[in-house]
Structure 1
Amino acid sequence: MVIALVYFVISMTGTLTFARSMDRQLESPRLRAAWDGRTAEARCTSVRTEETQDADGVPTTVSRVTLEFSTADGRTVSLEEDRSRLAPKEGDFVTVYYAEDAPEEATARTPSFGLRHARAVITAFGSLCAVVGAVVLGGVL
C-alpha cells in the first residue's frame, strides 16, 4: 500500500509538472488572455517567406505575416504572426484577438479547445493513469 501511495504522489507530481510545462510551451496563457479579450480587424501589411531547417535538418518554409490593427482606444499595433495557419495576401483583412492590457501580444489564431484546455486535459489524463496505476499496485502488493 505504501508503494502504491508513493507511486501515486510521484505520478501526480510528474503529471502536474508536465501539464504546466506544455501549457507554457504552447503559449496557452498568452493565447487564452487574447481570446478572452477583444477582437479587431487587422490588415496584412506584408508576407515574408523564409527557408529554414527543422531539428532534423529537413528544409522547411515558414511564412511570417505582418498584421496591423487599431485597438478599441485607437492605438495602432503591428505584429508578426508566424504560427498562424492563415495565408493572407498583402492587403487582406483577418480577425485578431488581443487582451486590452497587452495588445502587442495579439494573435490571429482562432480559439481552439485543445489550446484553451491543454493543461486541464493533460492533468486529467495523467491523474487517471496515476489512480489506475496506484490501484493496480495496491492490489498486486
Structure 2
Amino acid sequence: MFELLFYAVPALMITGAVFALVGLLRRSRDVHRAWDGGLTAEARCLQTYTTTSGGGETSVRTTLHHVYEFTTREGRTVRFDETNGPGTTIPGDIVTVHYAAERPERATAHAPARGKLAAESGCLVAFFGVFIGGCVLFMVVAHAIFSMADGFLP
C-alpha cells in the first residue's frame, strides 16, 4: 500500500504537466492563427488588473491582464482578456489587435513575433518533457527498488 504513494504522486504531477502543456500549445496555436489570420482592428483597452499566485513557502508571481474590446469587419463586438501584455498599456489606450475571421474571440494584442513565440513554446515544451521524463524515471526506479525489496522480505 505504501508503494502506491510512489506511483500516485508522480502520476498526478504528470497529469498536471500534461494539462499545462496542452493549454500552452493551444494558446500558442491561437496566437499564431491570429497573426496569420491577416485581419487587424483597433481595440480599446477597457481594464487592466493583476492576479497573484504562490506565496507561503513559494515565491509570489504576479500576472498582468488586459481586457480589450474591438469590432470585427462584420460589425461584431468582441471583448477578450489577454495576459502578459505591456505594462505601459492603460485603460482607454487604443491598440492594434490581430485576429482570425473564424475566431475573433481568440485575438491577440501582442505584435507578431513568430521567432519569440516559437522559442518560448519550444523551451516550455522541453521543460515539461524533462519534468514528465523525471517523473516517469522516478516511478521506474521506485518500482525497481520495491521489486528488489520484495525478494528480500520473508
More helix by share: 2
Structure 2 counterpart of 1:34: 34
DSSP 3-state at the match of 1:58: strand
Q: Is the 8 A contact 1:97 1:106 kept in 2?
A: yes
Structure 1 counterpart of 2:138: none
Distance of aligned partners of 1:102 and 1:115 in 2 relative to their CA distance in 1, 3 Å threshold: farther
Q: CA deviation at 1:25?
A: 2.9
Listed as ranges, the matches of 1:1-141 within 5 Å are 25=25, 27-37=27-37, 38-53=39-54, 57-85=58-86, 87-115=88-116
Greater C-alpha radius of gyration: 2
Q: CA deviation at 1:93?
A: 0.7
Q: CA deviation at 1:36?
A: 1.4
Q: CA deviation at 1:86?
A: 5.1
Q: Is the 8 A contact 2:32 2:114 kept in 1?
A: no
Q: Relative CO higher for 1 or 2, CA cutoff 8 Å, sep ≥ 6? A: 1
Q: CA deviation at 1:80?
A: 0.4
Looking at structure 2, the residues matched to 65 and 26 of structure 1 have their Cα atoms a distance apart, in angstroms, of 19
Provide, for residues 45-102 of structure 1, a one-character-per-residue CA deviation record: whole Å limited to 9, x for no partner.
1111223228x82112211110000001000000001132353111001111100000
List gaps (5 residues or longer) in structure 2: 1-20, 124-154
Q: CA RMSD in A?
A: 2.9
What's the TM-score, normalizing by structure 1? Answer: 0.59
Looking at structure 1, the residues matched to 26 and 78 of structure 2 have their Cα atoms a distance apart, in angstroms, of 23
Aligned residues: 100
Q: Which runs of 4+ in 1 moved over 4 A?
A: 115-118
Which amino acid counterpart does residue 31 of structure 2 have in structure 1? L
Structure 2 counterpart of 1:4: none
DSSP 3-state at the match of 2:58: coil
Percent identity of paired positions between Structure 1 and Structure 2: 37
